[in-house]
Amino acid sequence: MNIQSALQIAAIIVSVLLIVLILLQVKGGGLGSLLGGESGLGIARTRRGLEKTLYQLTIVMSIVFLAISIVAVMVLQ
């Protein structure tokens, strides 16, 4: 297995994880609305607990995906 194949596999895995993380972040209400909580009351609220972790993990995974993409381009040259 060469480095190009490894980078391609890593990019696919990270992209799938990134898609899952984005889909887990429910638009509008967060995870509380999945369990019957009310949302959309015009009240600004902060992310806490699992929502904050998902948000931070999404940022980290997007940075990892960007880094893998840049390294893959540099290897191809």
Q: The tokens 């992310």 sit on which residue?
A: 47
pLDDT at 6: 93
pLDDT at 10: 95
pLDDT at 38: 55
3: which residues sit within 8 A by CB, 6+ positions away?
Answer: 75
Give the CA dihedral 17, 69, 58, 21, nearest 10 degrees: -20
Render each residue's pLDDT in the chain as its tens digit; 77 residues.
Answer: 899 999 999 999 999 999 999 998 876 555 555 555 555 555 666 777 888 899 999 999 999 999 999 999 999 88
Task: Provide long-range contacts, Cβ within 8 A and 24+ apart, for 15-18.
Answer: 15/65, 17/61, 18/58, 18/61, 18/62, 18/65
